[in-house]
Amino acid sequence: MSLMKTVSDTVVQFLPDGKHNSLLDRDGFLGKPLVRVDAEAKVKGKARFTSEFDIPNLAHAALVFSTIAKGKVSEIDTERAKHSPGVLEVLTWKNMPKLEAPPLVDIGDLAKGMAASNLPVLQDASVHWNGQPVAIVVSETLEQAEDAAALVEVDYTAEPAATSFDLLKAEAVVPSDVLGEPAVISIGSVEKGMQEASARVDQVYLTPAYNHNAIEPHATIALWDENGSLVVLDSTQSAYMTSRSLALIFRLKPDEVQVLAPFVGGGFGGKGSLWTHTPLCAAAANVVKRPVKLSLSREAVYRMVGGRTRAEQRIALGAARDGKLTALIHTGITTTPSHARYAEQCTFPARHLYASPNVFIEQKIVNLDTIANTWMRAPGESIGTFALESALDELAYALRVDPIELRRINEPDKDPTTGHEFSARRLTEAYRCGAEKFGWDSRKPEPRSRRDGDWLIGLGVATAYYPYLRFPAKVRMCLYADGKAVVQTPAAEMGMGTATVQIQHAADRLGLPLERVSFHYGDSKLADTPVMAGGSNQTASLFAAVQAAVEDIHHELLKMAGQIPGSSLAGAKYEDLEARDGGLYRKGEKSSGETYTEILRGAKQDFIQVERESDPPIEMMKYSMASYGAQFCEVRVHEQTGEVRVSRWLCCLDSGRVANLRTATSQVRGGIIMGIGMALTEETLFDERRGRIVNPSLAEYHVPVNRDIPDIEVLFLGIPDEHAPYGGRGIGEIGITGAAAAVANAVYHATGKRIRQLPITLDKLL
């Protein structure tokens, strides 16, 4: 059990760094630009990510990937591999332990688990995509495992595979829903609206597949104790849901599985679901009776982990002479295999951004024999805003109206498709503030109107949009008699500042100095809750749970104080109290109250602990809630070579109250950088003949580098949304939305060439 305890103790605890943060005033910590509490550990190399753990007696695993897209393994010869130096076992479908099929993602019931695919894991000879694991080799060292994996010989019986989007899109079908929303929405008559229009745009916009490239590739370490319980270290965005998925797969009770995610080096959705390598690693550890590590190479991530789907979107807009929309049509076709069933929500922005009396929205899916597609930062909204915001720009030129003015003209009073009131919406103000700071008024509307030698200069704008999400979350909170507090939750920290802002929030709620609050996370057993770092929901979800837990603690403390002779809080009503100076005090009375230490010691208690789940997200049902923003981009396009350089960027966001200006700005910049990559460099190249990704490396899949990115200025309106916990809405994903459209619109302004197919490469401009 000592080994199990060593692994379990990897749960991360963070206290604020006093050297950087102790000088802040005590009038409230939320909103302050605190340095990340984990910054020093990461900079100094003290933070250990999954693959960096060196556990005694650790074995290493390597995978053998299929080379066909569909069919069966007819023969597999593992003899040479088994007799290779250091090999402990070679597992195929023939000798793999019996595993249950993984639980497919169900947004309505996250607690049951969350796998990207419901295909059984190495349970038969069937092959469903090119890159599917057909064997796992376990050896003493990684080098021995990889060498032995290369010795496994596999023969296949190939079957006709559905791998061509273009050939099969005519067979696209309407799914039952798109993330819980209707796949088809029809309001009024778009045919009539288009006929009545004075100006029209009707175009198709194409985006390729994209792959995640987090700094930390996926990795898993699995070990079993003598009682049959499973402990897994995993690079996951949800330790809790990974544990629930594994419990189902291995037919274990939930409390017999513990998943630890101490540090996660980026996820962006790619680590949000359970992928095949995690149960494979756990099964291998069970067979060899030793801890096993399985670290995916960069290429293996492309083979094993899905990315963003290819998409074809049609946007048709009609407008009257005054610029008001008379019709809005947004249809989209995306791909997904039958074992994943995920229709990427590319039409969601069109449902909520602009007023039109006539609307038609429809999404369809094409089933292909590929790895399961999955969420990728601002999943559908990123590609959806590229199409919609490009079309709005085209309409502005057709009407000869300023692109920002066109958006102002079509600003809705209520949500265009649901009819709900907005909880708060200041998009027009974001455009006004951003335009003033960016110098939009100096822009000449005609394309090719500004140059610097051989460089054509253009300005573009686009709307950023991402819906507000909050899921039920639970935290465990403990307040000690020495005046320290601990918050515990299975949340994930991927570098976005979760630990930092939750400490800030809890300190504010409790009225404690920042340095007396600590935050524990990254352990599925810390609280029974399906909290997940994804959908820009984690901060708001945990804020609501922390608020509820603090209220419970304060009520209990008030009861305790009422039993203590001579307590100045005796007879006080809860609503008349406030938390400050490390205790509870009557409002407006500087010294009428008691510290937490005085109350707990007076009640002869060492601590008080509560575990509390937040209330249901009623606000999402009552209001249309989202974060909004204005993206401003300047590009320089070389007239002779077609080279595109983004030279200036400004983003102004209406996202409610900002929890930490430093981490929030970093988050938005990161999203914008991904949006620039989406616009100019990134593209997953797919060989439809074999169903294989042909550029599975950072040498051939081109993510932006420092030279590609200008200084990015981020502004926040910072006006609280009174219907969101502590007034804030999510910002983790909004930065990428609208970014590709802003680049494309700026390229048009610079060159007069409208690019409707990403990425915008030299060949499309020459």
**Residues 10-56: tens digit of each pLDDT:** 556 666 665 545 434 457 899 999 999 999 999 999 999 999 998 99
Residue 360 sits at φ, ψ, to 5 deg, of: -135, 125
Assign 14 to helix, strand or coil. strand
| Average pLDDT of the residues in 499-513 | 97
Residue 348 sits at φ, ψ, to 5 deg, of: -60, -40
- Non-local CB neighbours of 266 within 8 Å, separated by 6+ positions: 214, 215, 216, 494, 495
Contact 286/138 with Cβ under 8 angstroms? no
How many domains, the chain? Answer: 1
Give the tokens for residue 314: 């049609």
Q: What is the mean pLDDT of the chain?
A: 95
Residue 535 forms part of a structural domain: yes
Give the tokens for residue 748: 């048009």
Give the tokens for residue 480: 């000690």
pLDDT score for 578: 95
Residue 575 forms part of a structural domain: yes
- Non-local CB neighbours of 44 within 8 Å, separated by 6+ positions: none
| Average pLDDT of the residues in 384-408 | 98
pLDDT score for 13: 67
Widest CA span of the chain, in angstroms? 86
How far is Cα 592 from Cα 337, in angstroms, rounded to an integer?
64
In which band, very low, low, confident or very high, does the pLDDT at 112 lie, cut at 50, 70 and 90? confident
How far is Cα 692 from Cα 372, in angstroms, rounded to an integer?
13
Q: Is the pLDDT confidence value at 590 over 80?
A: no
How far is Cα 394 from Cα 183, in angstroms, rounded to an integer?
26
In which band, very low, low, confident or very high, does the pLDDT at 654 lie, cut at 50, 70 and 90? very high
Which of 582, 583, 581 lies closest to 572, judged by CA? Answer: 583
Residue 603 forms part of a structural domain: yes
Q: What is the DSSP letter of 197?
A: -
Half-sphere exposure (Cβ direction) of 746: Cα atoms closer than 13 Å: 31
- Comparing 747 with 16, the larger pLDDT belongs to 747
Q: Is the pLDDT confidence value at 6 over 80?
A: no
**pLDDT above 70: percentage of residues in the chain:** 96
Give the tokens for residue 413: 């009073």
How far is Cα 337 from Cα 341, in angstroms, rounded to an integer?
6
Give the tokens for residue 80: 């040479």
Contact 746/635 with Cβ under 8 angstroms? yes
pLDDT score for 1: 39
pLDDT in tens, 324-337: 999 999 999 999 99
Residue 694's CB: how many other CB atoms inside 10 A? 12
Q: Is the pLDDT confidence value at 497 over 60?
A: yes
How far is Cα 684 from Cα 705, in angstroms, rounded to an integer?
17
| Average pLDDT of the residues in 550-577 | 94
pLDDT score for 486: 98
Contact 569/560 with Cβ under 8 angstroms? no
Give the tokens for residue 30: 């939320």
What single-letter amino acid sits at 266? Answer: G
Cis peptide before 759 (omega within 30 of 0): yes
Contact 619/721 with Cβ under 8 angstroms? no
Which residue is catalytic, options 256, 493, 594, 733?
A: 733
Give the tokens for residue 524: 């599925």
pLDDT in tens, 62-81: 999 999 999 999 999 999 99
pLDDT in tens, 161-184: 999 999 999 999 999 999 999 999
pLDDT score for 22: 47
How far is Cα 264 from Cα 269, in angstroms, rounded to an integer?
12
CA dihedral of residues 397, 399, 400, 404 (deg, nearest 10): -70
733 a catalytic residue: yes
pLDDT in tens, 665-686: 999 999 999 999 999 999 999 9
What single-letter amino acid sits at 752? Answer: G
Residue 599 forms part of a structural domain: yes
Contact 463/378 with Cβ under 8 angstroms? no
Which helix H or strand E contains 631, and what residues bound it? Answer: strand 626-638
Contact 269/309 with Cβ under 8 angstroms? no
Q: Facing residues of 155 across strands?
A: 75
Give Rg (Cα) of the chain: 27
**pLDDT above 90: percentage of residues in the chain:** 93
Residue 500 forms part of a structural domain: yes
pLDDT score for 16: 65
Give CA 396 to chain center in angstroms: 32
Residue whose tokens read 């540090």: 263
Residue 155's CB: how many other CB atoms inside 10 A? 10
Rounded to two decimals, the pTM is 0.96
Show the domain range for 540.
472-616
Assign 587 to helix, strand or coil. coil
Assign 676 to helix, strand or coil. helix
Give the tokens for residue 13: 């605890």
Residue whose tokens read 């609206």: 193
In which band, very low, low, confident or very high, does the pLDDT at 98 lie, cut at 50, 70 and 90? very high
User: What CATH code is carried by the domain that includes residue 491?
Assistant: 3.30.365.10
How far is Cα 553 from Cα 544, in angstroms, rounded to an integer?
14
pLDDT score for 390: 99
How many degrees, rounded to 5, is the angle at CA 407 between CA 420 and CA 713? Answer: 100
Which of 596, 554, 590, 591 lies closest to 573, judged by CA? Answer: 554
Residue 327 forms part of a structural domain: no
Q: Is the pLDDT confidence value at 591 over 80?
A: no
Give the tokens for residue 234: 């995993």
Contact 260/8 with Cβ under 8 angstroms? yes
How many degrees, rounded to 5, is the angle at CA 168 between CA 167 and CA 170? Answer: 100
Give the tokens for residue 198: 């004075």
Residue 560 forms part of a structural domain: yes
pLDDT score for 2: 45
Residue 593 forms part of a structural domain: yes
What is the per-residue DSSP string for 201-248? EEEEEEE-BB----SS--EEEEEE-TTS-EEEEE--S-HHHHHHHHHH
What single-letter amino acid sits at 538? Answer: Q
| Average pLDDT of the residues in 738-747 | 99
How far is Cα 506 from Cα 161, in angstroms, rounded to an integer?
53
Contact 91/281 with Cβ under 8 angstroms? no
